[in-house]
Amino acid sequence: MRRKISIIIALTLIITSILCITPGDTASVKAEPLIQVLGSLDAKVTASFLNVRQGPSLNHKVICVLKRGQVVKVFAKIGDWYALYEPSLGCVGLSHGDYLDVSWPTPGSTQTPTTPTTQPTTTAPKTEPTTAPTTAPTTAPTPAPTPEPTTEPGPPEDITQDEQTLLDLVNKARADAGVGPLKFDAELMKVARLKAREMVEKNYFSHESPTYGSPIDMMRQFGISFRTAGENIAGNRTVQGAFNAWMKSEGHRKNILNSKFNYTGIGIVDSPTYGKILVQQFIGR
C-alpha cells in the first residue's frame, strides 16, 4: 500500500510539472498538453532499449532504461507519451508511446481510472458503477418499468456574444472534421471565466495560475469531473483572430478537434495588453 501511494505521488509530481510545459507557439497563444488518466494498464516494451525520462520530450533526463519484452504499468497519457511504472526497478517516468504496446481493455470491460493528485478535491472523476443483472423466478412475466426521462443540465443563460462566437467557430471546425459538437458546461464556464479574469487582473499569460495551479488542479478545486481535459489560451484583438491562430498551431488544433472532448467552458475578458484574453477549457466525460 505504501509503495502504491509513493507511485501515485511520483506520478503527480511528474504530471504537475508537465502541465507547465507548452509547445513553442507565439507569445500570445498556448495549448495545454492533452492528459488522459488511464487507470492502471499493462504495456510491453517493443524497442530493444527504451529510455524512461523525467518529462515528455527528448530534452528531459533519462532516469532508467528498459529492455524489449519488459512489462510495465501505464497510468496516464500526456500527448504522445505514457507515464509508467516499472516495479522491479522502482522506476517512475515517461516514455514515448511508439515503443510501448498497451493492453487496452476489451470492449464491455470497465477500467476504473485512478486520480494522480494530492490536491484536496470536492469531487473526483466519476465512473458509473456496473451491476450484474439479477434474475428471479416469477410466476407471471413482470412488465419492465418505464424509465423516467432524464434531462441534461442546460447551458448557462448569460452567454456573451464573444463566447457564443468562439463556440460556433470551434463547432464548425469540428463538424468539418467529422467530429461531434461541444456543449457549454455551466460549471466549467465559471472556471474559464475566472481564469481569464485572473490573467488580466494579475497580468500573466500562462496555463499555470498563481492562485489555482494547473488547469487540471483548478478544475478539480471547483469540483469539475472529467476523464480527459485540455486548455487553450490566447491574447488577441478579436475572437476570430485568436481562433485562426489556434487552428494554425498543432497543439491547439488537436484540442479543438479532439473527439474525446464533449463539453467546454469559455472565458473572454477585455485586456489592455492584448485586446482580449481568451480561455477555452475542454473536458471529456
The grid cell for 250 is 498543432
- Residue 36 confidence (pLDDT) above 90: no
Q: What is the H or E stretch that residue 161 is in? A: helix 161-176
Q: Where in the chain is the domain with CATH 2.30.30.40?
A: 35-101
Q: Which residues of 71-94 are buried (b: 16+ CB within 10 A; e: fewer)?
A: ebbbbbbbbebbbbbbeeeebbbb
Assigned architecture for domain 161-284: 3-Layer(aba) Sandwich (3.40)
What digits encode the pLDDT tens for the residues 183-229? 999 999 999 999 999 999 999 999 999 999 999 999 999 999 999 99
Quote the pLDDT of residue 49: 85
Q: Which residues of 14-34 are buried (b: 16+ CB within 10 A; e: fewer)?
A: bbbebbebbeebeebbbbbbb
Quote the pLDDT of residue 189: 97
Quote the pLDDT of residue 168: 98
Question: What is the CATH T-level fold of the domain 35-101, as seen in this structure?
Answer: SH3 type barrels. (2.30.30)
Of 255, 260, 266, the C-alpha closest to 228 is: 260
What digits encode the pLDDT tens for the residues 79-110? 788 888 888 888 899 898 888 998 876 554 44
- Alpha-carbon distances, residue 209 vs 20, 46, 191, 248 (angstroms): 10, 38, 12, 25
What digits encode the pLDDT tens for the residues 112-171? 443 333 333 333 333 333 333 333 333 334 344 444 444 455 567 789 999 999 999 999
The grid cell for 90 is 522502482
- Residue 34 confidence (pLDDT) above 90: no
Quote the pLDDT of residue 15: 54
Of 55, 44, 58, the C-alpha closest to 78 is: 55
- Residue 241 confidence (pLDDT) above 70: yes
- Residue 22 confidence (pLDDT) above 50: no
What digits encode the pLDDT tens for the residues 43-72? 999 988 889 998 888 888 888 999 999 999
Q: What is the mean pLDDT of residues 253-258?
A: 96
- Checking 211-217 for CB contacts under 8 A at 24+ apart, the result is 213/16, 213/119, 214/16, 214/19, 214/20, 214/32, 215/19, 215/32, 215/281, 216/15, 216/19, 216/35, 216/117, 217/16, 217/19, 217/117, 217/119
Strands 100-102 and 49-53: unpaired
